[in-house]
Structure formats: structure tokens, C-alpha cells
Amino acid sequence: MLATILILFGLAPHGADSNPCLLPSWAIATPLVIACDVKELQVSGVSKNRSGLTFQQGQFNGITLHVATQSSGSNAEKAAMLIGATGGYVTANGVAGAAKAWKADLAPFGFDPAKIPVNAVAFIEFKR
């Protein structure tokens, strides 16, 4: 409903009713803004970066782990769920995947666990 109204008033592009990532960031919840930024990074390698997050990456056994340099607080776990199977967030014990579907230690990827904030959003990519 909101998307339709925003489209009618020219505040959102056509298609925003079926793709919430096309809506202005002020019109969607923070976890969705983060998830949209991550999905754009995964697809095209660049993002509008509406969330303001920056990511660092590390590789281990053909897997690339991207971890935000800032904490997303209570939004991290919700954003991980919206990202999907590759989404995750930093815990006190490493990185937990969305719905705790996977877990990883930070050290093998070259990250210093003491320098990565808890509740930072993360996602994985598999080498093709």
C-alpha cells in the first residue's frame, strides 16, 4: 500500500511495489535497508550504501567472508534473515548464519576477533 502511494506521488520508481529495495530508505525498516545494500553488493559488486555500512573481506578455503566494520545492533540478526542463506552476523563466538544455519570463526579468514564489533552484519560468498 505504501509503495503504491509513493509511486503515485513520484517518490518511488515503478516496480517498487514488488521490490522494496527500490523504495527510498526512509520508507523501509533499517534491517531491510541493510539487506538491500548487501544484495546489491552480491549481484553487482557495488551498492548505493544507504545503510552507511562498510565491509572488509577475508578468504579461507574458497569462501569469502564479508564483515561490516560497524555494529548494526539489534538490526543485525534481522538483516541476516532478510539477506537469506548467505547472511550472518557477528556474535561473541564468531559469525552465526541467518537462523543459526551456519557458523564460522573469524580468525581463519584473517580477522582479528577483538577488532570486529558484535552484531556486525556479515555475509559469505562461495568461489565459483
Instruction: For the chain, state the CA radius of gyration.
Output: 15
% of the chain surpassing 90 pLDDT: 61
Query: Which sequence spans correspond to the domains of the chain?
Result: 30-126
**Is the pLDDT confidence value at 35 over 70?**
yes
Residue predicted with more confidence, 19 or 70: 70
Does pTM top 0.85 for this prediction?
no
Q: Which of 93, 125, 128, 127 is nearest to 107 (CA)?
A: 93
Who's near 63: CB < 8 A, 6+ residues apart?
124, 125, 126, 127
Q: Give residue 128's pLDDT band: very low, low, confident or very high (50, 70, 90).
A: low
